[in-house]
């Protein structure tokens, strides 16, 4: 079962939604950090103290720089080198943009691994750590927090952001590899299906083409050896040769088109043959001079797939009879037994039966393969100068 590939519009909409959601998250969290930090600073600092003017100046600078950091976060993919570095550096003067700066550290650490991104990640992480622990006058008062504790907290925060970025990057890489494997598997399945379809059509055409060529051979032999034919009979035989030649050429053209590398696979022209079309095969063979007896012919309720297999098997069996036992009587019998259908072809032979490995075509190998693919059985026997092929195919009405 294959996973459906979403269309480009849906993917674009999801990307936009994720970008808006992330931008909104860093903005809201930055505003919360700004309010919490400077609210506590204003509560603890006396209004007449010298630090009050510095706090007011810091708040104004924070409000001016913070939105710029958030904008740089939004442009992190378009400016992959500039935006993270500048954004983290500007976070020195802003708590409003501190969350966006931390997100920029995660973004850099999540990128695909290379020497350049590793160096950039190390530099930005070091800058972020330095800003977090440096006692700059622009920072809100920290109630004389020990420097060692600032270093520990800054190191843990910086390492956490880098590790989070690495986890995000690993997850994205795993997802990309999974998608690539899925695309490769889908391409492999399409290639396999195309190859199997070409092979199937080639087998179909081989059977049909072999049947036509055997008819042409029979008619041409009649013209060569039958000197007692009238002009009308000669003309009729020539017309049959011409028609079978035209059909054979069309079928050969289809074969070459199917087997040509890179050629699109197109189905055979005309409706697929069914079990009832075996009568047409018998009539064509009889018109070519073959002697064929049909003992039983039970075709009621045979499904289409089974009918097509029976038609191609009968076509190959009649072709082999004309090729290996010309002039001999051929007996066909098609019977149904519970959940199976059986096709038997029997003819007399005066030589060894045809080999399944005889060069020049699929021959009986094709018959056996069709029976196997249909879940049936193939049997070939020779007794007292009689050659018989029996094919049993399961089916359910």
What is the per-residue pLDDT across 55-64, written as a single tens digit (0 to 9) for each?
778 788 888 8
Integer CA distances (angstroms), 208 to 142, 259, 331, 361, in order: 92, 16, 20, 12
Count other C-beta atoms under 10 Å from residue 150's C-beta. Answer: 15
Query: Half-sphere exposure of 394 toward its Cβ, with a 13 Å CA cutoff?
Result: 6
- Is residue 229 scored above 90 in pLDDT? no
- Is residue 41 scored above 50 in pLDDT? yes
Crossing angle for the helix pair 98-109 and 8-44, nearest 10 degrees? 140
Separation between Cα atoms, residue 236 and residue 279, nearest integer Å: 21
pTM confidence score: 0.45
Q: Which residue has the tokens 């442009």?
A: 75
What is the per-residue pLDDT across 253-302, written as a single tens digit (0 to 9) for each?
656 665 565 545 444 455 677 888 888 888 888 887 788 898 888 888 78
Separation between Cα atoms, residue 63 and residue 221, nearest integer Å: 102
Q: Where are the alpha helices (DSSP H) in the chain?
A: 8-44, 50-74, 82-90, 98-109, 115-133, 147-225, 231-259, 278-287, 304-324, 363-373
Mean pLDDT of the chain: 77
What is the mean predicted confidence (pLDDT) over 221-244?
A: 75
Count other C-beta atoms under 10 Å from residue 97's C-beta. Answer: 31
């Amino acid at each position: 079962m294959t996973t459906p590939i979403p269309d480009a519009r849906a993917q674009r909409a999801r990307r936009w939604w994720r970008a808006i959601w992330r931008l909104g998250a860093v903005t809201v969290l930055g505003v919360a950090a700004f309010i919490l930090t400077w609210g506590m600073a204003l509560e603890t600092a006396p209004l007449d103290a010298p630090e009050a003017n510095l706090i007011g100046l810091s708040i104004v600078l924070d409000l001016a720089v913070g939105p710029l950091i958030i904008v740089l976060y939004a442009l992190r993919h378009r400016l992959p080198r500039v935006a993270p570095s500048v954004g983290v550096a500007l976070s020195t003067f802003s708590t409003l943009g501190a969350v966006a700066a931390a997100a920029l550290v995660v973004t850099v650490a999540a990128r695909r691994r290379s020497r350049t991104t590793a160096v950039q990640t190390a530099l930005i992480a070091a800058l972020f750590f330095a800003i977090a622990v440096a006692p700059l006058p622009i920072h809100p008062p920290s109630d004389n927090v020990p420097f060692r504790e600032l270093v520990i907290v800054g190191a843990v925060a910086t390492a956490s952001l880098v590790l989070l970025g690495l986890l995000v990057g690993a997850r994205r890489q795993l997802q990309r590899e999974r998608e690539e494997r899925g695309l490769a598997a889908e391409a492999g399945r399409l290639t396999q299906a195309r190859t199997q379809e070409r092979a199937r059509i080639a087998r179909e055409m081989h059977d049909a083409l072999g049947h036509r060529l055997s008819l042409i051979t029979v008619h041409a032999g009649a013209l060569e050896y039958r000197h007692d034919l009238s002009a009308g009979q000669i003309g009729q035989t020539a017309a049959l040769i011409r028609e079978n030649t035209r059909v054979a050429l069309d079928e050969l053209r289809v074969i070459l088109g199917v087997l040509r590398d890179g050629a699109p696979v197109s189905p055979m022209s005309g409706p697929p043959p069914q079990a009832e079309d075996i009568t047409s095969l018998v009539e064509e063979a009889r018109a070519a001079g073959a002697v064929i007896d049909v003992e039983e012919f039970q075709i009621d309720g045979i499904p289409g797939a089974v009918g097509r297999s029976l038609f191609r098997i009968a076509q190959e069996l009649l072709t082999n009879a004309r090729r290996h036992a010309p002039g001999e009587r051929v007996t066909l019998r098609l019977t149904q037994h519970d959940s199976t259908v059986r096709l038997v072809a029997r003819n007399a032979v005066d030589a060894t039966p045809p080999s399944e490995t005889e060069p020049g075509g699929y021959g009986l190998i094709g018959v056996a393969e069709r029976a196997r693919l249909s879940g049936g059985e193939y049997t070939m026997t020779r007794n007292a100068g009689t050659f018989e092929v029996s094919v049993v195919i399961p089916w359910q009405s």
